[in-house]
Amino acid sequence: MPWVDKLTDPQELRRCIRDLVALSTLPAIWKDYNSRQIADSAAAALLSMLHADVIYVTVPGLRDEAAADVMRTSQAVSIGSSGHIERILRGASRGRHEQIFAIDNPLGEGTLRILATPMGFGGDAGIVAGSVNPQFPGETDRLLLGIAANHATLAIQRWHAEAELRRLAAVIERSSEFIGFADLDGTPQYLNKAAYELLGLSDLEEVQRLSIFDFIAPHERTRALHEALPMVMGTGRWLGELHLRHFRTGEIIPFLVDWFRIDDKRTGHPTNMASVSRDLRPQKKLESDLRSLNESLEQRVKERTSELAEALERLTIEAEERARADIRAQKLQEELHHASRLSAAGQMAGALAHELNQPLTALTNLVNAGRRMMANGAPYRVETVRDVLGEAAEQGLRAGEIIRRLREFVTRGETEMRIENLPELIREASNLASAGTGPHGVQVRLNFDPRAEAVFASRIQLQQVILNLIRNAHEAMAQSEWRELEVVTARLDDKSIEIAVADRGSGLPDDIVEHLFEPFHTTKVDGMGLGLSICRSIVEAHRGKLAYEPNCGGGAIFRVTLPVPLEQ
């Protein structure tokens, strides 16, 4: 071989042996180096051994380590040209085979001879040496560069493998789960820190005197030997729940055990058994707490459901009692309204007797006059007798109408709500209330708004309100010089109409106004103080309002506001 012949020169042989010895010491130095440090150390050594002008080493990034690019140059290379040289050598480092070529010398005149040797990373790494020496590269240079590339490849791979092992060991040691492996005969070889703590073990020497079946609770060892172990050896894995024991306290601890077999990748034969097991006590406690909580919630739901059922029953009974009470109250209210009407009729009895006396007296006189005409045999004309009897019939109808209005007012009657003609309802109430008030000289004026002719009401009850208000106005003006009463209807807006009863009486003092609509407050000597209270309750039952205000010309105004019927 040509390069062997060259080494027959004693000086060259000594240099080669020296460099080979130097290269052989590098792996020991690189033991604690990372990829960049290994690349830099190799570049520095080769720059000296090969008498090269430039050495460029590129190493790919592996895992979480970045790629490394290192360049070393001799003193002949200026700082300004190093960047250009690095770009040239970076391209030369990409390849799977050794390359030798020459390029124009970027350092000056002549050519720069290049030797590129790949590293064992799939063509993504290599060492490139460049020299202006026309004898470069010699066989010794190629030998040294190849040996350096192999040493660097092995060192970097070892570094990454050891880093992976360190990371894996750190994960295993810091894991909170039981991790360990044993020989096929069951002798433990390794346990992580969590395993020692979970089982109350002290050190590996104590562990190696035991068998993995000593870790298992006595009542589960038979199951582990005859069920779990045969499956591990046969199929490679068994996953299930086993109870292990604590060597210090004797506590039986439930574990989820993942028990598996480790095989030799080259022969396929089993070499070890390993296990990754999880302490199930937190999970069991959580499940127990959840069961207790569910049971507690179910009990509370039952209790609450029972309470709600009892409360519903009580509410149902109370609702029924309230409904019955409402019916009784409604009946009592109707009785009260009826009694109030009877009281008003009693108070008007004298006036009504006088009102009836006039038509009845006239009726009597007319009938007697007709009898005398017929008894005397005088030649009266038939037309005259017919006129006398016709006038008598009118007086009888007049008396009957007064009695009809009084009967309708004092009767219990129908309280059904219906559409009523408001002007007609007010006229009847006014006529009844004004019966027998002629001597007082009260002038009554009725003024009806054509837009407020209909009202949805109980005829009798609304007439009771208007009659009470008109009679109160008559009584208030008994001592007044100016006796004028006005009843006015008006359409306020799309939703309401108003009935106003205004008098020219003495008005009401402030202390009376404050309690005007409260029961049993009255200014009358023989009054019970229920009239206005009943009137307000009737109006509010009609979804309306009853209000008082002083009349600016003296006296009082009572305003009844009622909703407009839906039909309007």
Average pLDDT by stretches of 10, the chain with 568 residues: 52 76 81 86 87 86 75 70 71 75 77 86 82 87 88 86 83 89 90 90 84 91 92 92 92 93 89 92 90 88 88 89 77 60 54 58 68 64 66 65 59 68 88 63 86 87 84 82 87 90 83 72 55 82 89 86 80
Instruction: Express each pLDDT in 280-337 by its tens digit.
Output: 999 989 988 898 888 888 888 888 888 898 889 889 898 888 888 777 767 656 665 5
Is 526 domain-assigned?
Answer: yes
Is 360 domain-assigned?
Answer: no
Domain identity same for 102 and 244: no
Element (H, E) at 240: strand 237-245
Pairing mode of beta strands 443-447, 126-131: unpaired
CA atoms within 13 A on the CB side of 518: 7
Instruction: Express each pLDDT in 34-88 by its tens digit.
Output: 888 888 888 888 888 888 888 889 887 766 677 888 888 887 666 556 666 777 7
Domain identity same for 450 and 566: yes
Domain identity same for 197 and 104: no
Domain identity same for 133 and 195: no
Is 319 domain-assigned?
Answer: no
User: DSSP E strands: which ranges in 317-388?
Assistant: none
The CATH number covering residue 546 comes to: 3.30.565.10
- Number of structural domains the chain divides into: 3
Q: Are 34 and 61 in contact (CB under 8 A)?
A: no
Domain identity same for 17 and 159: yes
- Identify the domain containing residue 270 by its residue range: 176-279
Q: Of 151, 170, 189, at which residue does a domain stop?
A: 170
Domain identity same for 559 and 445: yes
The CATH number covering residue 150 comes to: 3.30.450.40
Q: Of 260, 279, 298, at which residue does a domain stop?
A: 279
pTM of the complete model beyond 0.75: no
Domain identity same for 453 and 552: yes
Q: Among 33, 294, 292, which residue's Cα sits nearest to residue 157?
A: 33
Is 87 domain-assigned?
Answer: yes
Give the largest CA-CA distance in the chain: 196
Q: Of 107, 138, 170, at which residue does a domain stop?
A: 170
